[in-house]
A and B are shown apart, each in its own frame.
Chain A
Amino acid sequence: MNSLLKIHKTQLSKLPDVIATVVTDRTGLLLELTGDIDGETVGAVHAVCADALDQTGGTLGLGELQRAAITASRKVCIIAPFGDEVLGIYVDGARSLAAFESKLDGALRQVR
């Protein structure tokens, strides 16, 4: 098991305010899932979205995509490409995103 999948099980899915988590490969194939969510569908969408945003960054000369936060009225989805995988995390939208991202950074630093 690679380190992202390991940390996904042991830490990321246990972060406070996390509703669901999905890990896919770059083609959108579901690898891991926690929470009540249609992982196959949203995982595929995450991969496509990450790919399109990555291309946007390339076109604009901004470099590699590190993370995308999609804010909706009730929840926030954070998509983070990670080597050959794409991590998607759904968080309660009422909470502070900055505080959550700080915790997420701490957890992901162990993988990088």
Chain B
Amino acid sequence: MFDRILTGLHAVNGVQATLIIDARGELIAFQAHAVYDQALLQDASRQIMSAVDSVQLVQEDWELVTATYVEGKVLIRNLNAAEPESRASVLAVIADTTLNAPFAGVAIRVAASKIKAALNAPGAGEAAATPMMALASGPNISVPGATHGMNGAGRHAPTFAAASLPALPARAEPASSGQAWSALNSSIGAPAANLSVRDEEASGYLAVCSKALSRSVGPIARVFVREAVHRVCVNRPFSCEDGAALVAELVQHIRRPSDRNDFQKAMTHA
């Protein structure tokens, strides 16, 4: 489904690889020069989505990220820009230093529109219920100077998936009742970023939680807490009864097992 679209992007001078990544960081379609194999691009996809997740916390309406490196560029286009409260699926373009960024920007915008149209076409979701199965039977596209999804064994691995890119459900607005946890309010974030808490006790719990988490992840802790409360409470005010579910969500952000234990202990006594 995406073969011609990605091939078109490779016509832009300097483009080395093009990827379509879903909201969970899974690589669902790619076209790349031989230097980039599927495993490497999958790793990069997760890192790209980690960056995208953080961008989305403060700029929900973001459209394009242009990352400039010593030896190239990565351009990341939001495929869900019209639905700012959905987690983004993205089109990423990896390029060397010869890339003409303004020209590439236009080509990427056009490609993103086509990908969105393809995804919204009837039957798009049925084309590949499981991306890897669809990829394995995907077309073998040939572009001069490029290989497409060749894995280490030399056989054509997943190249172009006809998989859908499901947007996660829109984040619900906080309930109008209850109190706002002003410590998390952001002048850059959308109003939906404000939290609603049931009472003072719940507000205090969130403050303790944020402080405890910050010992292992730093100041980003309050952002993680805000996002976790949205996930746990959906459209009702946060209360202390939600504490266990909140801690379970937050502990996933802590890499070191010892830090996880410390956090869980701290929250047990909160």
Contact = CB atoms under 8 A, between A and B. Distances in A.
A68 B94 CA distance: 14
Contacts of B199: none
Contacts of A52: 47-48, 50-51, 54
B262 to A, nearest CB: 17
Task: Give the bracket for the number of chain B residues in contact with chain A.
Answer: 35 or more
B223 interface: yes
B112 to A, nearest CB: 13
A37 B220 contact: no
Nearest to B43: A59
A37 to B, nearest CB: 5
Contacts, number: 139
Contacts of B222: 40-41, 44
A42 B223 CA distance: 9
B63 to A, nearest CB: 5
B151 interface: no
A86 B95 CA distance: 24
Contacts of B67: 53, 56-57, 65, 67-68
Interface residues of A, number: 42
Contacts of B102: 98
Contacts of B44: 56, 59-60
A72 B63 contact: yes
A91 interface: no
Contacts of A56: 44, 47-48, 51, 67, 74
A102 interface: no
A38 B74 contact: no
Contact of B188 (A38, A49, A71): A38
Given A42-B188, A63-B70, A47 B63 contact: no
B124 interface: no
A74 B51 CA distance: 20
B41 to A, nearest CB: 8
Interface string A61-88: 1111111111111110100000000000
Interface of B: 35-36, 40, 43-44, 47-48, 50-51, 54-55, 57-59, 61-74, 94, 102, 184-189, 218-223
